[in-house]
Structure 1
Amino acid sequence: MTRTEIRAALATLAIIVVINGAVAWAVFRWPWATDAAGAALLLYLALEWPSISRGGRKMATAALAAALAALVLLPQAVPVLRHGLAEAAFIVGLFTTLGMLRDSAQSSRLIRRCGEQMVRQRPGRRYAALSLGSHLISLVLNFGVLALLGVMVAKGNTLSAANGDEIVKGIRKRRMMTAVMRGFAMMTVWSPLAVSFTVIEQAVPGLVWWRLLPLQVTLSLILMGWGWALDRMDFPPHTRRLPHHPHRTDFRPILSLTALVAAIVAGAVAMAEVLDARLVVGAMIVVPPSAAIWLYRQQSGPPRPRAALTARLFLRRLGVSLPNFRSEVAMLGGAMFLGVVVAAFVAPEDMARAIALIPLPPIALAVLIAWGVMAAAHAGISQLVTVTLAGSALGSLAQAGISPQVMASGLLGAWALSICTTPVGAAVMSVARVAEVPVKVVSRTWNRRFVLVGALLLAVWMVILSLVL
């Protein structure tokens, strides 16, 4: 084996230790499990440091600076650093576990058939089809949906398909790429498999996920409906420049994918109930075997050779994909660690006193916190950091009569909307790269109105919830 292969193998083993350590702590509460997961995470970052992106290195450096400041200034620094490392390992474990599902999805003919059905829709239906399809596929592909559908859009949106009309080609590109991006972003409003759901479940005290879920599904439909309405306002049917080409939709692959996603989520819920653990812990246990079974179904031949081939493919893909998550691991893990450590400098009682001095109703403060998450994301500060920091204030708002469901709903909505506008976000950068346009075009020109009006809708939603709950 070459030095590169040895490094990749060690990095893969390190992430597997991170995942298993995080699950072992969540289920059995073994103290050594979090320490093992944290040590494995540090080893992974050390091994992959030369290849981590500039943004990932900046976040990891900020986390290191926070750790040094804690050692100097906090009287009980070691427990804080251990807790921060444990939380970072858990969020990295969740993200990389979901990546296993993405590996199996990317080679699935079912995913390709779903994508093709969405891209081939007529203009009036295409936005809705791509938005809903992206929303559904992102449950299993996560960020991978942007590359999958984005590439399909780019390949299908040729100059010849637009009858040589550059304006038509540009309009199609904008409409289809914003549909894919917004569909993915709104998935984070409600999905138990999303990183946002995990972080907010930890940050908001007294939150009951099964009460929150129907509220969030409704909110995601509202925001996706606004995206569709905005698309119709910007590009009304009477401006169509090309004749209509009918396409007959085959709903079978879409229904099959829906059943697959439902089975995975149901398995995660059942596992969480059996173990009396958080929903995301159930997901971390259920997703790897689900990914292996999905990969098995893609192979052919007798059962025993088929299983052996599946095992080889699964392990080979892990050896490639887990080291390739290096930049995302640095960003996610570093942001989570940074948020936990910085929050330790702010005493909850001090935050409560500061909030009490603000002459605004509690629901207005809750809305401002949600908008603050969006503003910080637009300035390049990760939602992981701001939501974790906001945790000190959320307990005070709960004591003032704001339901945990209201606060969690607002934060999840703000997180999702900010995905579409933050210029340093992975979603915006991925869409800009595939669409071959500057990042500012995606975050400002394409999505500014969607996010600004979405923020107002979110505020109204939070006020209504506060009156009902």
Structure 2
Amino acid sequence: MTDNVQRLRILSAALAVVVIIGVVARDVTSLAWGRDAARAALLAFVAIEARAVVRGGRIMLAVCLTSALAAWIWQPDPLSLLGRALDDGAFIVGLFAALSLLRDAAESSHLVQTCGGWMVRQPPGRRYLVLSVGSHLISLVLNFGVLPLLGTMVLKGNTLEAAGGDVRVTAIRQQRMMTAVLRGYCMMTVWSPLSICFAVTQVSVPGIAWWRLLPLQLGLAVLLMGLGWVMDRRAFPGTQAPRGAEQAGGHRPMYALGILIGAVVTCSVAWAETLGVRPVIGAMMVVPVSALIWLTAQHWSAQPQAAVAMAFRRLGQRLTVSMPSYRNEFVILGGAMFFGRLASAFLSPEITAKIIGLVPLPPVAVSVLLAWAMMLLANFGVPQIVTVTLLGSAVTNLTRLGIDPLVLASGLMGAWSLSATTTPVGAAALTVARLSGVSSTTVAHEWNGAFVRMGAILIALWMLALSLFL
């Protein structure tokens, strides 16, 4: 590696760290310097890494540049609009970068390898439930940080030795385990009041009280997770683990990992409450410190001072590798948020409602089609937040057409969660694909395509039932 390449990697890593610090400072202090630093660092990172971005990222960059030019020409206050769009992009990039630090600590952890081995030795049905439910609960406050954490954990334990030397079994286990983790995380967005999906839907759809929406969405989440478990059992009926193998290593390492995760989750929520910020901001502050503590504990056999120094050195070295390698994720995720903000400025609620009103179908059928349309658009790279914002802003007009806001909100949240598992350009599919060593298309379409199609039918029936009984 040339000195110039190494310097660029260090610079890219430093810029990613500035984005994290700027986003946190903006939310915690409301000072302009944090906002400006995050914006400038994000633009500089993209400028440095743009040439190495793959095709999907280049398309997103072209979309962002085109939409920015359109906003500059046709919007009355383009500078303010572009600034808000950059803020959205910096937030999602900073969140992704901060939460990914747990993966760097998990990769070298003996505890992780032990727990992964225990999980993959569970009988297939139990293994899927353990991973999907565990992923679901942890993601309540760590958001998609659960994917690199649990993903690394289970993949560490999915060895040829654990599969009896059968490469085919190893591949099947990897698919099933990573699918369970992905679906568990994505189903969190169906109901959690801490998720971006819930917050955006509640704000965008006026008149929806959280206490009415929450119990309905909990029921839908249980149905969708149950559907995933049933489909997993039907798809892989004959891949049973050796009897008794699941007891290897006992439960003690899992308890230790549970305490570690519980500590990170608790500290994230407590710190966010103390500062009066969103839980995801608390996680962005706690996770890097947790990663350092975890790395320090791994080197604790040395002197304490030496262990701390080794942890800082290892994390710094990992940053210069991992942050530049996330260039595609940063561009796609940040670009989607940037474009979503600009797109929402061009379509008024009246125009949106007028277009929807042209569909010659009953109101509940139109609601179902809107939810399915969001899933379809997300599959082509249109962010869910754009669709929900546009439809939500038009709800006042849609109500006149007989569309129930609560039914529409419930269906959109369910469709958001399903589309997250089958969107090749989404954060979840990209992360799981990176961990698994496969393409995001494989994760989205081959691993989750059938589940999403059945889930779409389930959501349609759910919306029909709500329209009849509410």
- The verdict on a shared fold, with TM-score over 0.5 as the criterion, is yes
Q: 1:258 to 1:189 in 2, by over 3 A?
A: farther
Residue in structure 2 matched with residue 295 of structure 1 by the alignment? 295
Aligned position for 2:456:
455
Partners of 1:209 and 1:3 in 2: CA distance: 53
Verify: 1:416 aligned to 2:417, yes or no: yes
The amino acid that maps onto 2:261 is: V
Change (3 A) 1:296 1:411: farther
- CA contact 2:147–2:432 (8 Å) conserved in 1: no
Contact 2:120 2:246 in 1 (8 A): no
Aligned to 2:106: 105
Offset, 1:84? 0.6
- 2:36 is aligned to 35
Match of 1:233 in 2: 234
Q: Does 1:376 align with 2:406?
A: no
Amino acid aligned to 1:342: A
Q: Which residue of 2 aligns with 1:149?
A: 154
Comparing 215-224 with 103-112, which one deviates more in the overlay? 215-224
Where structure 1 has 5 or more consecutive residues not aligned to the other structure, the ranges are none
Q: How does 1:274-313 map to 2 (within 5 A)?
A: 274-300=274-300, 301-313=302-314
**1:248 and 2:247 correspond:** yes
| TM-aligned CA distance change 1:396 to 1:275, over 3 Å | farther
Distance 1:156-1:197 versus aligned 2 partners, 3 A rule: farther
Are the counterparts in 1 of residues 147 and 182 from structure 2 also a CA contact under 8 Å? no
SS of residue matched to 1:7: helix
Q: Helix, strand or coil for the counterpart of 1:142?
A: helix
1:120 aligned residue: 121
Structure 1 residues 395-434: aligned runs within 5 Å: 410-425=411-426
User: How far apart in 2 are the matches of 1:143 and 1:204?
Assistant: 32
* Shift in Å, 1:337: 0.6
Normalising by structure 1, we get a TM-score of: 0.81
Residues 64-213 of structure 1: matches in 2 within 5 Å? Answer: 64-132=65-133, 135=136, 140-143=145-148, 145-146=150-151, 149-150=154-155, 152-153=157-158, 155=160, 160-161=165-166, 175-176=176-177, 178-189=179-190
User: For the residues of structure 1 that align with 2:190 and 2:430, how far apart are their CA atoms?
Assistant: 20
CA distance in 2, matches of 1:75, 1:180: 45
Identity in percent: 47
TM-score normalised by structure 2 residue count:
0.81
User: Could you tell me which residue of structure 2 aligns to residue 326 of structure 1?
Assistant: 327
Deviation of the 1:385 alpha carbon? 4.5
Query: Could you tell me whether the CA contact under 8 Å between 2:106 and 2:112 is conserved in 1?
Result: yes
Write the deviation string for residues 200-231 of structure 1: whole angstroms up to 9, x where unpaired: 67756688889877765654443222111123
Q: Which residue of 1 aligns with 2:8?
A: 7
Q: Deviations over 1:344-400 (max 9, x none)?
A: 111234335555666777765554333222111333444355445445335766998
Deviation at 1:403, TM superposition (A): 6.1
Q: Report the 3-state secondary structure (helix = DSSP H, G, I; strand = E; otherwise coil) of the residue aligned with 2:417.
A: helix
- In terms of mean alpha carbon deviation, does 276-285 or 213-222 score higher? 213-222
After the TM superposition, which of the residue ranges 97-106 and 408-417 deviates more from structure 2?
A: 408-417
AA of the residue aligned to 2:247: R
Letter in 1 for 2:7: I
2: CA distance, partners of 1:386 / 1:216: 19
Q: Which residue of 2 aligns with 1:269?
A: 269
Residues 116-172 of structure 1, C-alpha deviations (whole Å, 9 max, x = no match):
11211234434334444555677544256446535754745868548xxx7x78866
Q: Please report how far the alpha carbon of residue 67 of structure 1 lies from its aligned counterpart in structure 2 after TM superposition.
A: 0.4
Tell me how far apart the structure 2 counterparts of residues 278 and 206 of structure 1 sit (CA, whole Å).
22
Contact 2:89-2:333 within 8 A present in 1 as well: yes
SS across alignment from 1:107: coil
The whole-number CA distance in structure 2 between the counterparts of 1:136 and 1:128 is 12
Alignment CA distance shift 1:130-1:191 (3 Å): same
1:340/1:389 contact within 8 Å kept: no
Does the 8 Å contact 1:15/1:40 carry over to 2? yes
Give CA-to-partner distance per residue, 1:221-258, whole Å, 9 cap, x none.
4322211112333444xx67997565326222333333
Mind listing any 5+ residue stretches in structure 2 that lack a counterpart?
Answer: none
